[in-house]
Chains A and B, each alone.
With several copies, the nearest count.
Chain A
């Protein structure tokens, strides 16, 4: 599964994307965030407060309780601020 990070999430983690293979008990985006944060370091710093994060699964915006089963690409990022 490709994981993408944007804005300050990307900066804190230190990379814009990485490949991950979460275990079967990582069911939702929120589970994925917790699982990635458990790596510590930049991941922990970027992902400590899920309430400040938004996500997309296969490029569609989703709530953090959305499932990630079968996803090819999950993006994790702050609220958008374009325009």
Chain B
């Protein structure tokens, strides 16, 4: 099962996990990224490249399924405006064994950060600014190449 969603709605992680639990893999791993306050962020806005983003996420999910023999891989990414504490991204995997599920989960979130066309804009007070790329994200993604 591969499930890729880019949505303006709140992410329902309970529903996503329930769906992964029905794939027959006995091991389900997940990662959820939340909007951080980071000392005064009022709103985080996520922009994406419609079509290209979904295709990039689907390619990552397919690569993970093949590489770790997953029974399920789910990537849900929120777009639009959101407040601190809200979920930005959910990545979930189902596999026969725990190491595969957890490693594939790391792979998906690391590679999503560098390979999928999303852009973050933070608003602090009246000032909005686009978030710059982080070298550490490229280092993390490079582990999987």
Contact = CB atoms under 8 A, between A and B. Distances in A.
A8 B128 CA distance: 11
Contact of B119 (A56, A59, A82): A82
Contacts of B77: 82-83
5 contacts: A7-B47, A7-B121, A80-B113, A81-B134, A82-B112
Interface in B113-128: 113-121
Given A4-B49, A6-B47, A56-B52, A83 B117 contact: no
Contact of B132 (A59, A77, A81): A81
Contacts of A7: 47, 119, 121, 130
Interface in B95-133: 109, 112-121, 130-133
B36 interface: no
Contact of A82 (B52, B120, B132): B120
Classify the secondary structure of B's interface with A.
mixed
A6 B119 contact: yes
Given A77-B49, A78-B133, A81-B133, 7 more contacts: A7-B47, A59-B52, A75-B49, A80-B133, A82-B48, A82-B112, A83-B89
B117 A82 contact: yes
Interface of A: 4, 6-8, 10, 56, 59, 61, 75, 77-83
Contacts of A78: 119, 130, 133
B52 A75 contact: yes
Contact of A80 (B51, B88, B119): B119
A77 B117 contact: yes
Q: Nearest 8 CB-CB pairs, A to B?
A: A82-B118, A79-B133, A7-B119, A59-B52, A83-B113, A81-B131, A81-B120, A8-B130
B91 to A, nearest CB: 9
Contacts of B137: 83
B79 to A, nearest CB: 9
